[in-house]
Amino acid sequence: MKDKYIKVVKDNYKGEALNILLKQIELFFSDSKDIKLTKYDVGEDVFLKKGTYMHGIPSDKEHFDWTVENGFIGNDFTDMNTPNKIRGSIGMWQLKEDTLLKDYIIKYSGFTITYTIGRGPGSIEVSDLIPYHQFDKYTEELNNREDVWMYWGDQTKELRFMPSLVADKRQIAFILNMDSPYAKEISSADVWNPNYDKIMIKDFIDYRYYDKFLVERLNRNATTTDRETAIMFGLPSKLIEGVLVGRKLENDQKALEYIKNRLPNCYICNLEGKVIVGNK
């Protein structure tokens, strides 16, 4: 598979983008020994360190097995070549601060709201993430502020890709331990990094999104989002330390046993942020 990925990269990239991707492939397939996964007993609350990654997949056995066996790889390099605005990379949700998993889930299961301070050319837009079931309280506070002119909202992007308190469309997300030097090195090749040359970045961005992306990567907020990463080429499955499951899978004993058999060193947790299958 490594040779196949190298060929795809050489056929489609050049210059600095090519060199970074070739380095990423070497890191991806390297035999790193510094990864230490967090251990939990059943019933414990999952604590996520700042920098932890999470990635949701469609709720079917085929996608789960493929990810466990192959890792997290950008669609451009696989047979699942579905179009993305950001190409040549794999999207991840990155924890911005130390937090309990249950609090993180409550937060992204809510709503994204944008409001304007002031009116007209001099107005300022502000975006916030509103936790689950806090929308009415938050908008009432905005309505009572003299400096807020208008507001609008949207679902969080996480709701489209992760198990949530709102919908059962997604049932599986992986929790990746990014604490090791190896994880930090391979994840440093992030398309969102504002230090990358804008010409080089062109190879990774759909032309219809390119101009907007250049603005967003310098002015990231709760809407664009400031929690999103796009790691060039991909990340190996050996970084997986836990699996978050939705309500349906939590009550499917056969499915939980299958997940544990495929990932024996990992814990499984639910939407309350508690471990339901331990790894100690």
Q: What is the pTM of this model?
A: 0.95
- Check whether residue 125 and residue 166 sit in a common domain: no
Please count the structural domains in the chain: 2
CA atoms of 104 and 102, how far apart (whole Å): 5
| Rounded Cα distance, 270 and 45, in Å | 10
By the 8 A CB rule, do 183 and 30 touch? Answer: no
Amino acid at 26: E
Give the residues of the chain that fall short of pLDDT 50.
Answer: none
Residues 122 and 91 in one domain: no
Q: Same domain, yes or no, for 96 and 140?
A: no
Based on the fold, state whether residues 87 and 24 are members of the same structural domain.
yes
pLDDT of residue 81: 64
Q: Do 176 and 232 fall into the same domain? A: yes
209's tokens: 């999104």
Domain-terminating residue out of 139, 155, 171? 155
- Domain with 122, as residue range(s), is 110-155
Calpha distance 29→277 (Å, rounded) = 29
Q: Are residues 149 and 172 in the same domain?
A: no
53, 87: one domain: yes
- Is 128 found in the same domain as 82? no
The pLDDT of residue 82: 73
- Identify any residues that bridge with 114 across adjacent strands, giving them in sequence order: 127, 152
**Whether the Cβ atoms of residue 44 and residue 270 lie closer than 8 Å to each other:** no
Burial letters for 149-162: b for 16+ Cβ neighbours within 10 Å, e otherwise?
eebebeebbbbebb
My answer on whether 45 and 177 are in the same domain is yes
Strand partners, 43: none
Residues 125 and 168 in one domain: no
Looking at the fold, whether 143 and 177 belong to one and the same domain comes out as no
Q: What is the pLDDT of residue 211?
A: 96
Q: Are residues 117 and 189 in the same domain?
A: no
